[in-house]
Structure 1
């Protein structure tokens, strides 16, 4: 991977599954990583292993002040970002006892808010020397539409719509946007059929990081077992 593209990376949803695997592999490749997610033993272990390269950011990013504080800490440590990876597959901060019917609504709602706040907070950090990149990673959970799915998708009820709405503004600042999501049957992201695969968090992270230097506008990620990549609250 070309570390000049992702030398300073902010990864959200980093405490388990795909987010944690992305943090691990980025550190192995020599990147400096800010990891947002619920505090966990595995992140603490990585922090001890990479004390100069890993910045742990604990805070519920669906709250604007948490995203602002995360950006402030990144500014204090590195002064800028080369890449923002919004791993919006699930939600680290859903309560363990959240009723099953409310889990998916909570995932979509919290990721809509977190994505909006992180983009706003990270924007000034991305406008520096290296051509920066924003990456949005969505799962079958977070790609769902809030409220009545029969209604038109808007920036207030659809995460993929929110990300796409930012593409032109990001491009105007020479910031590339890559959206990684399951195949959308309404709006074809790619021309060929994509079959679900037996991805693990490690293999999915490896392929994603291998593809990002090409800066594709869209990538399709279809997983057979979503809980391997984005564990739901137990």
Structure 2
């Protein structure tokens, strides 16, 4: 078993797929984990296995009041936070009756709101943590731009722009930010085209956490089987 990368970690979107795999791997490494997610049998099984080292939350983080309540619960349990992992891949915070025609716009808008709320709610906890950092994981779905995509990306219409806008403010508080996302054609973070790979949730979680201590500003994740990492609702 590897030594824990961080001691107190909050993982959002952890009901299944990559979010669940990140939570499980962190628990295997000895971390104290808060998992915010829709109720799921897999997450409850982890709770049964790891007991007091896993705090399971059922909050709608796209609602500011519920995100604040989630952060208060984290503080009550762990006192502070060393790492916030925002798994903004698909739809943990979508209304169950979202029509198929509105699905992708709803994925972007709900993840935008949830990510902004989590950053705001977790800031004080991170400032009290040890070598704090934020890891944001975006999918090809959630990295899309909504509302006039031909126009410049802004924090209110683009998840990559939201995190970019927060980088300096987090850095001023000695909080590192790593964004894991598919390669953007508008603003590529590496000079070569990344080749999509057939990731599983477990293999992607393993690689992401392996690179977490490097605190790189950006990492590229191109996936062939996106649904295996961020399952869409059936």
Asked whether the two chains share a fold, i.e. TM above 0.5, the reply is yes
Distance in 1 between the 2:229 and 2:108 partners?
16
The answer to whether the aligner puts 1:78 opposite 2:78 as a matched pair is: yes
Structure 1 residues 64 and 159: CA distance shift in structure 2, 3 A: same
Partner of residue 224, structure 2: 224
Partner of residue 88, structure 1: 88
Distance in 1 between the 2:170 and 2:83 partners?
13
Deviation track 1:137-190 (CA, whole Å, cap 9, x = no partner) reads 000100011111111110100010000000000000100000000000111211
2:91 alignment partner, SS class:
coil
Deviation track 1:79-129 (CA, whole Å, cap 9, x = no partner) reads 100000000000113244422121101100001100110000000000125
C-alpha root-mean-square deviation of aligned residues, in Å? 1.1
Distance in 1 between the 2:72 and 2:200 partners?
33
Partner of residue 134, structure 2: 134
> Any residues of structure 2 matched to 1:24-63 within 5 Å, and which?
24-63=24-63
Structure 1 residues 189 and 217: CA distance shift in structure 2, 3 A: same
Distance in 2 between the 1:130 and 1:209 partners?
17
TM-score (norm 2): 0.97
Partner of residue 110, structure 2: 110
The answer to whether the aligner puts 1:212 opposite 2:209 as a matched pair is: no
Unmatched segments (≥5 aa) in structure 1? none
8 Å CA contact 1:2–1:213 kept in 2: the answer is no
2:208 alignment partner, SS class:
helix
Aligned length: 233
Stretches of 4+ moved more than 4 A in 1? none
Unmatched segments (≥5 aa) in structure 2? none
